[in-house]
Every structure is written in structure tokens, then in C-alpha cells.
Amino acid sequence: MVEYQYRVMVFPSGVSPGDLSRAIAQEAEYGHWELSRLLLYFGGRRKVWLRRRIIRVGRTFSSRAPV
């Protein structure tokens, strides 16, 4: 099963769409995040959910010594 880590960012109504796009692009590029959801409120405030995949590394060796 795929697991994700989420990050929520809130932007006030005064932030331009270009600045919002740049902020999300920087997070995506440097933090390996992808856009999951964007919610626009009536006053112009935006709430952005970013997600990234959690990679679990399985054990590659046995804890027992060979017989």
C-alpha cells in the first residue's frame, strides 16, 4: 500500500496567482512534493495540500546466521 506524507499551506487573499504558483513550484522541486488539493475560499484565501510518497525500505538480510 502506498503511504503519503501531507503538508498544508495557507495563503492569504493578497497573494497573487503567480506568487502562489512559484511557492508551490519551489516546494515541489526542492522538497519533492506534489499538489494534492487546492481549496479557494470566498474571501480569496487559498489552502493547498501537498503530498509526497513515503518510501519504506524492507530488510534485505536475515537476522539469523546461516546454518
Q: 42-59 pLDDT, tens per residue?
A: 999 999 999 999 988 877
67/60 Cα distance (integer angstroms) = 18
Question: pLDDT grade, residue 2 (50/70/90)?
Answer: confident
pLDDT band at 65 (very low <50, low <70, confident <90, very high): low
H or E element, residue 26: helix 17-31
C-alpha cell at 52: 509526497
Tens digits of residue pLDDT in 13-46: 999 999 999 999 999 999 999 999 999 999 999 9
Instruction: Give residue 55's pLDDT.
Output: 84
CA trace torsion 8, 22, 33, 40 (10° rounding): 40
